[in-house]
């Protein structure tokens, strides 16, 4: 696999060695058990897969290359490069300006851009409409396009489905940048509809089976379907694709449910004429991270720490999985843990930051799960591990533990 040139401060002395050893021992990624680091009074279960994926490293490499290659030009990002506050803060510190926020609200008017400026398309991609605006200004949109190859794979599949007269069902969050981009492309070739979860899929199933009126469909999916969408005509033949950061298991559940609806309507012998097999569009990195999280759930840990931006979809899904079994904290960096052992935990249900006590007073030893989203640099994970060791007054040398892990990772 390609090695990316990204700034050195994104790398890490701890996690990089753990990942390198696991990759050497398990090149085909068959083993999803966590790595175990024993520091005596603190023991870490570290996910087999986490942190920067191919698409994110590719995006960061291109963004920093744009900075280096254009020292005297104005450089703009359409929106956040990835959903990580530290990465975006560093890009801003290097002079990059954001044109829109993550919801698509305008921060900089298009009139401020000229053909001499640089515009970077983020890893989530962008809409056909925004590409058209940039082209009309005269900006080269290809040179610094960081769209993830796996997002583009979904777009290509959607185009093929549309050419085969399928309606595109997009499993995603309606206002997420990637979903907006996928929807924008899908409607170029076919009717399209966005659904966010299995409950919306069940409502859609009732529509397909004629149990829900057309007006109820329009009310329920208001603003989430293409113009002119006719549920009586456009739900006869469908294909499901996803926002790549959604839980793959959820996408598969939705697809299987809709497949059963189609079988009930048309019979198993005709199923290929009514729903496409789109399993090949699921992102490998999202799958790996989620499989590794299931591996973490087999441990006897006391608590879990998930690291990433609070608006990161794939990171939120890791929290959803781990909190089913463990006391789980969702933080952005070591700055969210203070010297008294309090942690600023982001509650994904209330969308509020809550001050909590990280450790139990009555435990002499803590077993802690560590994982992060696809947009979190390993250096941030390192910082959290080091902060915890400081708080627990661990006297065990970090390098010694890493050296022992490299020699015997299955201790």
Residue 362: what pLDDT? 61
Pick the CATH number of 8-52+285-407 from 3.10.105.10, 3.40.1010.20, 3.40.50.2000, 3.30.200.20: 3.40.1010.20
Rounded to two decimals, what is the model's pTM?
A: 0.86
Half-sphere exposure of 6 (CA within 13 A, CB side): 24
Residue 73: what pLDDT? 95
**CA angle (319 as vertex; 315, 325 as ends), nearest 5:** 155
State the Cα–Cα distance between residues 238 and 169, nearest whole angstrom.
7
Burial zone of 5 (CB within 10 Å; 0-12 exposed, 13-18 middle, 19+ buried): exposed
Residues 6+ apart with CB under 8 A from 143: 66, 118
Residues 6+ apart with CB under 8 A from 192: 158, 167, 168, 169, 170, 183, 186, 225, 226, 229
Burial zone of 213 (CB within 10 Å; 0-12 exposed, 13-18 middle, 19+ buried): exposed
Q: Is 232 a catalytic residue?
A: no
pLDDT tens figures, 200-234: 999 999 999 999 999 999 999 999 999 999 999 99
Residue 184: what pLDDT? 97
Share above pLDDT 90 across residues of the chain, in percent, rounded to a whole number:
76
Q: How many CB atoms lie within 10 A of CB 64?
A: 18
All structural domains of the chain with their residue ranges: 8-52+285-407, 54-137, 149-243+246-281
Residue 391: what pLDDT? 92
Pick the CATH number of 149-243+246-281 from 3.40.1010.20, 3.50.50.60, 3.40.50.300, 3.20.190.10: 3.40.1010.20
Q: How confident is the model at residue 1 (pLDDT cuts 50, 70, 90)?
A: very low
State the Cα–Cα distance between residues 271 and 276, nearest whole angstrom.
8
**Section 69-75 average pLDDT:** 94
> Is pLDDT above 80 for 361?
no
Residue with tokens 């900006």: 139
Strand 327-331 vs strand 303-307: parallel, antiparallel, or unpaired?
A: parallel
**Section 276-293 average pLDDT:** 83
> Is pLDDT above 60 for 2?
no
> Is pLDDT above 60 for 47?
yes
Nearest to 244 by CA among 347, 153, 344, 310: 153
CA dihedral angle for residue 133, residue 135, residue 140, residue 142, rounded to 10 degrees: 80
Burial zone of 204 (CB within 10 Å; 0-12 exposed, 13-18 middle, 19+ buried): buried
**Section 157-170 average pLDDT:** 96
Half-sphere exposure of 85 (CA within 13 A, CB side): 11
Q: One fold for both 54-137 and 149-243+246-281?
A: no
In Å, what is the CA distance from 407 to each residue of 14, 33, 404? 15, 17, 5
State the Cα–Cα distance between residues 90 and 288, nearest whole angstrom.
28
User: Could you tell me which CATH number the domain at 54-137 has?
Assistant: 3.40.50.11270
Q: In what order do the strands lie in the sheet with 327-331?
A: 35-38, 42-46, 366-372, 303-307, 327-331
Pick from 6-15, 108-117, 203-212: least confident: 6-15
> 308 versus 4: which is more confidently predicted?
308
Q: How confident is the model at residue 278 (pLDDT cuts 50, 70, 90)?
A: confident
The distance between the two most distant Cα atoms of the chain, rounded to a whole number of Å, is 68
> Is pLDDT above 60 for 411?
no
Given the residues 57, 80, 178, 366, the one annotated as active site: 178
Alpha carbon 247 to its chain centroid, in Å, reads: 9
Burial zone of 410 (CB within 10 Å; 0-12 exposed, 13-18 middle, 19+ buried): exposed
Which residues share a beta bridge with 240?
A: 169
Average pLDDT for the chain: 92
Determine contact, residues 97/75, Cβ cutoff 8 Å.
Answer: yes
Nearest to 102 by CA among 85, 79, 121: 79
């Amino acid at each position: 696999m390609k090695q990316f040139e990204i700034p050195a401060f994104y790398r890490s002395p701890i996690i990089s060695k753990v990942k390198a050893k696991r990759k050497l021992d398990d090149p085909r990624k068959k083993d999803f058990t966590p790595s175990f680091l024993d520091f005596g009074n603190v023991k870490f279960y570290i996910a087999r897969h986490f942190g920067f994926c191919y698409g994110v490293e590719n995006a960061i490499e291109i963004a920093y290359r744009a900075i280096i290659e254009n020292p005297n030009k104005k450089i703009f990002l359409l929106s956040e490069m990835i959903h990580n506050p530290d990465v975006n803060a560093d890009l801003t510190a290097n002079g990059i300006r954001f044109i829109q926020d993550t919801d698509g609200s305008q921060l900089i008017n298009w009139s401020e851009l000229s053909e001499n400026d640089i515009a970077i398309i983020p890893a989530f991609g962008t809409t056909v409409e925004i590409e058209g605006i940039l082209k009309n200004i005269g900006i080269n949109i290809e040179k610094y396009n960081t769209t993830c190859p796996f997002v583009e794979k979904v777009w290509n599949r959607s185009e093929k489905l549309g050419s085969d007269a399928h309606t595109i069902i997009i499993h995603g969050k309606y206002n997420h940048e990637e979903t907006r981009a996928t929807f924008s492309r899908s409607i170029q070739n076919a009717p399209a509809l966005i659904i966010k979860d299995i409950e919306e899929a069940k409502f859609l199933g009732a529509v397909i089976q004629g149990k829900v009126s057309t007006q109820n469909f329009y009310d329920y999916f208001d603003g989430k379907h293409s113009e002119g969408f006719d549920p009586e005509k456009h739900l006869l033949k469908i294909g499901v694709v996803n926002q790549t950061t959604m839980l793959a298991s959820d996408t598969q559940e939705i697809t299987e449910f809709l497949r059963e609806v189609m079988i009930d309507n048309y019979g198993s012998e005709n199923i290929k004429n009514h729903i496409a097999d789109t399993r090949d569009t699921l992102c490998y990195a999202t799958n790996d991270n989620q499989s590794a999280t299931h591996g973490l759930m087999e441990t006897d840990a006391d608590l879990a720490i998930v690291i990433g931006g609070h608006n990161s979809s794939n990171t939120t899904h890791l929290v959803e999985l781990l909190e089913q079994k463990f006391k789980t904290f969702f933080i952005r960096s070591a700055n969210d843990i203070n010297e008294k052992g309090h942690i600023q935990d982001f509650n994904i249900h209330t969308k509020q930051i809550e001050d909590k006590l990280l450790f139990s007073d009555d435990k002499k030893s803590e077993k802690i799960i560590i994982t992060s989203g696809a947009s979190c640099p390993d250096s941030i994970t390192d910082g959290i591990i080091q902060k915890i060791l400081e708080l627990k007054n661990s006297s065990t040398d970090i390098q010694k533990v890493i050296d022992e892990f490299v020699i015997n990772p299955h201790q």
